[in-house]
Amino acid sequence: MYLIDVQGTLIDDKDKKPINGAIDFVNNLKEPFVVVTNNTKKPSAEFYSFLKNLGFNIPKSSYLDPFMVLKNSLQVEKVYCFGPQEFIEVIESLGYKNTPKSPEAILVTSSKEFSSEDFASMIEMVSDGAKLIGMHATSIYAKDGRRYAGVGAIMKMISYATGSKYEVIGKPSPAFYKEALKILNVNNFDNIEMISDDAVGDLVGIKELGAKTTLVLSGKCKSKKEALHVEQSIDQIVENIGILNG
């Protein structure tokens, strides 16, 4: 059974087009699978439809993103969002009040626009008692052909600066991966293979849970050398998901 990442694995980080061989891989799968994405830019239904319109034959029940588990993981009313406007709009549509005044939690997602002022605000709000929440914990955020610090890296920085712990909603949170297990109707990761372009942000965590891991070099990681520091958590490395066809 497969858990399959999206950005950098199924679609290109730059132009959002299917990666060579990705559609055939998904559409020819005979084994059960779940597409597990850290999408935090579009409402879940909209991003799912986007993937379907690209040609991916993904059953609706086989799609999972952080917005779909947020309410069960974070039961507060007032939050402050750090990320693009489209992320803020989705959070507000889910019923949260986005306010900088005494938020109960700060929600952080990927952005290439973060500044030192943003990081200072994160530190101040967390120091004042707000929960530190990463919508996911990617190690690197790939955008427009460049690579920026991912949410996982930012979480560690703010945690180190404040002495506060943080929580993760999406990958590689064990709770998020266990939601995927429920979809597959299994109780453990013994027969699960995770395919992703994020060696640290996706594969290390799920390897610790017992899954097999495959790193593709079509996204965040550009070479095997970049994954050497976590090579014990990777079972195989391929150029792209199309290599796995057949």
3-class DSSP state for residue 94?
A: coil
Amino acid letter for position 181: L
Could you tell me where the DSSP H helices lie in 64-199? Answer: 70-73, 85-93, 116-127, 151-162, 174-184
Q: Is the pLDDT of residue 215 over 90?
A: yes
Residue 9's pLDDT is what? 96
Residue 58's pLDDT is what? 97
CA distance 58 to 49: 10
Q: What is the mean pLDDT of residues 28-56?
A: 96
Residue 246's pLDDT is what? 63
Residue 144's pLDDT is what? 80
57-70 pLDDT per residue, tens = 999 999 999 999 99
Report residue 46's pLDDT band, with 50, 70 and 90 as the boundaries.
very high
In the numeric block, the tokens 């019923």 are attached to: 95
Q: Which residues contact 33 (CB under 8 A, 6 or more apart)?
A: 1, 2, 3, 4, 26, 62
Handedness of CA 218, 221, 223, 228 (dihedral sign): negative
Tokens of residue 219, six digits: 């996204």
Are residues 192 and 114 in contact, defined by beta-carbon separation less than 8 angstroms?
no
Q: What is the mean pLDDT of residues 162-170?
A: 97
- pTM for this predicted structure: 0.93
Residue 178's pLDDT is what? 93
Residue among 83, 88, 17 at smallest CA distance from 54: 17
CA distance 162 to 30: 48
CA distance 127 to 121: 10
Bigger pLDDT: 140 vs 10:
10
Q: What is the mean pLDDT of residues 79-85?
A: 97
Ordered domains of the chain (ranges, CATH): 2-67+171-244 (3.40.50.1000), 72-168 (3.40.50.1000)
3-class DSSP state for residue 33?
A: strand
3-class DSSP state for residue 130?
A: coil
Amino acid letter for position 12: D
Q: Is the pLDDT of residue 116 over 70?
A: yes
Report residue 39's pLDDT band, with 50, 70 and 90 as the boundaries.
very high
Mean pLDDT for the chain overall: 95
Handedness of CA 240, 176, 211, 34 (dihedral sign): negative
Distance from first CA to last CA of the chain, Å, rounded?
15
Residue 145's pLDDT is what? 81
Among 46-60, 142-156, 185-199, the range scoring the smallest mean pLDDT is 142-156
Q: What share of the chain is helix, strand, coil (3-state, %, to 5)?
A: 40, 20, 40
CA distance 137 to 206: 13
Dihedral class, residue 21 (left if φ above 0, else alpha if ψ from -120 to 50, else beta): left
Q: How many residues are given for the chain?
A: 246
Q: Which residues contact 184 (CB under 8 A, 6 or more apart)?
A: 1, 32, 34, 192
180-209 pLDDT per residue, tens = 999 999 999 999 999 999 999 899 999 999
Residue 143's pLDDT is what? 83
Q: What is the mean pLDDT of residues 27-48?
A: 96
